[in-house]
Amino acid sequence: MEELMLKIDNVSKKYRLGQIGGTTFRDELQRFSARILKKEDPTKRIGAKDYKKGETFMALNGVSFEVKKGERVGIIGHNGAGKSTLLKLVSRVTAPTSGEIGMNGRVASMLEVGTGFHPELTGRENIYMNGAILGMTKSEIDTKMEDIIEFSECRQFIDTPVKRYSSGMYVKLAFSVAAHLDSEILIMDEVLAVGDMAFQTKCLEKMSDVSKKEGRTILYVSHNMNTIRQLCDRCVVLDHGTVIFDGDVEKAIAIYSHVGDLENIEEKNLTNVERYCEVQEDRIASFTKVKFLDETNNFCDQGSNLHIELTIRAKKAIQNSSIRFTFWSKRGYSVASSFCMDFGKLDIGENTFQFMVPTEQLVASEYDVGLIFLERSEFGSNSEIDVIINAFTIKINEDYNFYWNTSQWGHVKLPYAKAE
């Protein structure tokens, strides 16, 4: 049986809205006097909202889930969903209003840049302080000191007070300390966004490594879905303080990105769809309509092909023409393309053609499909007549009997390799 490292049981957190307390005794006297005389609060900031006495806000409401040893769990959601509040509760920065949080092991957390660092202490002294907070002895910290300094890339400044560090240097040293010192649970809250690209990659590789080899449990919050895909093997989606999904990373990202809003459509008018800006408005031919010929319309099953009917309006007869279908991922890059060469002659007016677009090698996901109409001249060159980057969207349904890791293996499933 896998060891349970974290159990969050029906946890809620309630906050009182408005300013609680003042900065000085004088401010408090001014507020008190204004209330007695029924005047406006003189210390209130311009544009600040007035809150009724006792008005509250539920940052978390009945959150429950468990994390086992070695799991790398991503926590995603829109701003204000409760992600940072949840991590603060787990880190014991603040206490829950109701519910229970059980942990099995020491926790190292990075909730913001420089968490746990004293600005007047040097980098080396902060390493010792963080280690002591985690319950490590000086000799244990000494054995890891060189690895921490080397990984942080801050050797030149390690004996400089951290108040003189840049935000990037703060993150490098803080992450290095958290990753190398002995803690069973590692908590990260969007801090890697401050570091450069090379260091982010190094941090993700390090977290993955310590999770697999040392059995560390990781809770990771980020709005960068690429890093969520690279690091996490499970994802929790929060929405207005409640858990709306807990499971597969790609499904969680789909929910977070509102993929569920995709409509099942039978046909789509392409007349007013945005065209590529370099294509002339007085083009001699243009796409006017797409119709889906399968019963599932713009939803396909994994391993099947896409059957559509395209209507093209031509202002003059075109003898040699071709179409390119381009599939774009929701992350904005081209996944695959398919050409249909010399599919038929176009007469002046409306022309309708049916196509079988090969999609059986695309794995389960949502794709934007681009259409490009090309005319080939008598000399063999092609010119773009009509270009729609995002003509319509299709969703390829997952085959639950077959697992595919999109983040590592890509969106295209090639045939199996054969040994020669």
Pairing of strands 299-301, 382-397: parallel
- Please check whether residues 255 and 292 belong to one and the same domain: no
Query: Which residue ranges in the chain fall short of pLDDT 70?
Result: 1, 17-23, 44-54, 112-115, 191-195, 257-262, 277-281, 380, 400-401
Distance separating alpha carbons of residues 396 and 364, to the nearest angstrom: 5
Query: Which residue stretches of 47-166 are H helix?
Result: 83-90, 123-133, 138-152
* SS3 readout for 168-188: HHHHHHHHHHHHHCCCCEEEE
Task: Based on the fold, state whether residues 226 and 336 are members of the same structural domain.
Answer: no
Residues 305, 210 share a domain: no
The pLDDT score that the predictor gives to residue 11 is 92
- 343 and 221 in a single domain? The answer is no
Q: Cα dihedral sign for 247, 251, 257, 260?
A: negative
pLDDT at 33: 84
Gap between the Cα atoms of 169 and 203, Å rounded: 13
Asked if residue 47 belongs to a domain, the reply is no
pLDDT at 48 (0 to 100): 59
Tokens of 304: 């099947």
Is there a domain that residue 391 lies in?
A: yes
Residue 21 lies in a domain: no
Q: What is the pLDDT of residue 32?
A: 80
Let me know: does 252 contact 237? Beta carbons within 8 Å.
yes
What is the pLDDT at residue 337? 93
Last residue of a domain, one of 217, 242, 259: 259
Domain range for residue 197? Answer: 4-16+54-259
Domain boundary among 218, 234, 259: 259
Q: What's the pLDDT at 186?
A: 85
Residues 274 and 254 in one domain: no
Q: Is 128 helix (H, G, I), strand (E, B) or coil?
A: helix
Check if the beta carbon of residue 71 is closer than 8 Å to that of residue 234.
Answer: yes
Residue 10 backbone dihedrals phi, psi, to 5 degrees:
50, 50
* Same structural domain, 369 and 386: yes
Inside any domain, residue 83: yes
- Do 239 and 380 share a domain, yes or no? no
Q: What is the pLDDT of residue 20?
A: 56
Does 220 fall in a domain? yes
β-bridge mates for residue 13, sequence order: 60
| Tally of domains within the chain | 2
Residues 155 and 251 in one domain: yes
CATH number for position 62:
3.40.50.300
Tens-digit pLDDT profile for residues 399-410:
756 777 777 788
Nearest to 410 by CA among 343, 331, 350: 331
| pLDDT given at position 335 | 92
- Same domain for 229 and 351, yes or no, is no
pLDDT of residue 56: 77
In-domain check, residue 42: no
112 within a domain of the structure (yes/no): yes
What integer best gives the mean pLDDT of the chain? 83
CATH number of domain containing 325: 2.70.50.60
Q: What is the DSSP letter of 410?
A: -
Distances from the Cα of 381 to the Cαs of 26, 370, 374, in angstroms?
A: 81, 21, 10
Q: Is 215 found in the same domain as 91?
A: yes
pLDDT of residue 349: 92
Last residue of a domain, one of 207, 237, 259: 259
Q: What is the pLDDT of residues 104-144, one digit of tens each?
A: 888 877 776 556 788 888 989 988 888 887 777 888 888 88
| Model-wide pTM > 0.75 | no
Residue 27 within any structural domain of the chain: no
In this structure, the answer to whether residues 69 and 158 fall within a common structural domain is yes
Q: How far apart are CA 85 and CA 96, in angstroms?
A: 9
For residues 198 and 323, membership in a common domain is answered with: no
pLDDT of the residue at 359: 92
Q: Interior CA angle at 182 toward 77 and 152, to 5°? A: 75
Residue at 259: amino acid letter: V
pLDDT of 279: 64
Cα–Cα nearest to 143, from 155, 156, 125, 131 = 131
Give pLDDT, residue 407: 72
DSSP 175-231: HHHHHHS--SEEEEESGGGGS-HHHHHHHHHHHHHHHHHH--EEEEE-S-HHHHHHH
